[in-house]
């Protein structure tokens, strides 16, 4: 089983996740998380699907705050997919440099925009199949765009979603694709996008990677990993 570098292996005694129990746990934690984070949404600033696509590509290994600083300027300069597609690669690199991994990100952005112009009539496509066919666009990025720019149910499995799903006993997988499929079975479809946001907010506020605040966590009574470092 593939493992993220930041995710510890689930101990053997808890490897098997009972789907019915996991679905019941989702039902119990959902209202608590909704109440705790009533304004949960993506922290990336965007006005249209193209801007969210670019911002999400830039957000890899970078904070949302930094991405927003970079895109505030960049979106004034590059207003369409064609603008990005025809721009000089070095110039894009320079404009996005502070987000890190700027060469690869510039290649992805330019390549994705070129394909959007040439094959999708200059519009960001709104299906998983087409979005994930764009250079540099993986399933997670596609799900962020589908869920937040197109209002389609989508589970974006970032590091928080993976970590919390495992601690909460919702999936034993650390592979993002398998974990997304596990969550899709136990979370009602209409809640997919918001459930990702809630786990991300909870991961930032209580269930942090190194030192989760189980003492004050509002869903601790439903969590099999509460106060058990062996399960973090
Ligand atoms: S009880 Fe602890 S491990 Fe469980 S969700 Fe809360 S902070 Fe995370």
Residue 150, SS3 per DSSP: coil
How much of the chain, in percent, has pLDDT values that exceed 90? Answer: 92
* 129 pLDDT above the threshold of 80: yes
Task: Give the pLDDT confidence of 80-91 residue by residue, as tens digits.
Answer: 999 999 999 999
Instruction: Report pLDDT for 15.
Output: 54
Candidate CATH numbers 1.10.10.10, 1.20.1050.10, 3.50.50.60, 1.10.340.30; the one for domain 49-148: 1.10.340.30
Task: Give the pLDDT confidence of 176-224 residue by residue, as tens digits.
Answer: 999 999 999 999 999 999 999 999 999 999 999 999 999 999 999 999 9
User: Environment class of residue 2 by beta-carbon count within 10 Å: exposed (0-12), middle (13-18) or buried (19+)?
Assistant: exposed
Instruction: Report pLDDT for 142.
Output: 98
Distance 63 CA to ligand 1 centre (A): 23
Distance 215 CA to ligand 1 centre (A): 8
The pTM score is 0.91
Nearest-Å Rg of the Cα atoms of the chain is: 19
Q: What is the mean pLDDT of residues 66-92?
A: 98
Instruction: Report pLDDT for 4.
Output: 40
Assign a CATH topology to domain 12-40+155-231. Endonuclease Iii, domain 2 (1.10.1670)
**Which position among 34, 114, 130, 158 bears the catalytic label?**
158
Q: Whose CA is nearest to atom 2 of ligand 1?
A: 214
How many beta carbons lie within 10 A of that of residue 189, not counting itself? 11
* 13 pLDDT above the threshold of 70: no
Instruction: Report pLDDT for 117.
Output: 98
Q: What is the mean pLDDT of residues 63-73?
A: 97
Among candidates 204, 193, 146, which has minimal Cα distance to 41? 193
Domain ranges (residues) in the chain: 12-40+155-231, 49-148
Q: What is the mean pLDDT of residues 58-84?
A: 97
Among candidates 214, 212, 203, which has minimal Cα distance to 33? 203
pLDDT grade, residue 156 (50/70/90)?
A: very high
How many beta carbons lie within 10 A of that of residue 229, not counting itself? 10
Distance 163 CA to ligand 1 centre (A): 10
**Which position among 105, 115, 140, 182 bears the catalytic label?**
140
């Amino acid at each position: 089983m593939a493992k993220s570098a930041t995710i510890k292996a689930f101990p053997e005694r808890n490897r098997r996740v009972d789907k019915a129990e996991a679905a019941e746990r989702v039902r119990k934690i959902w209202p608590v998380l909704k109440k705790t984070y009533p304004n949960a949404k993506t922290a990336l600033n965007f006005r249209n699907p193209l801007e969210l696509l670019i911002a999400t590509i830039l957000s890899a290994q970078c904070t949302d705050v930094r991405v927003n600083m970079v895109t505030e300027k960049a979106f004034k300069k590059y207003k369409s997919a064609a603008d990005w597609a025809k721009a000089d690669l070095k110039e894009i690199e320079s404009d996005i440099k502070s987000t890190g991994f700027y060469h690869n990100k510039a290649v992805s952005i330019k390549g994705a925009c070129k394909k959007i112009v040439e094959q999708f009539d200059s519009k960001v496509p709104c299906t998983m199949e087409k979005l994930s066919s764009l250079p540099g666009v993986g399933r997670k990025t596609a799900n962020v765009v589908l869920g937040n720019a197109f209002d389609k149910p989508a589970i974006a499995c970032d590091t928080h979603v993976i970590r919390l799903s495992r601690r909460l006993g919702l999936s034993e997988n650390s592979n993002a694709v398998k974990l997304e499929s596990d969550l899709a079975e136990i979370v009602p479809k209409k809640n997919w996008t918001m459930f990702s946001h809630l786990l991300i907010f909870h991961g930032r506020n209580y269930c942090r990677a190194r030192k989760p605040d189980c003492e004050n966590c509002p869903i601790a009574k439903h969590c099999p990993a509460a106060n058990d470092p062996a399960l973090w």
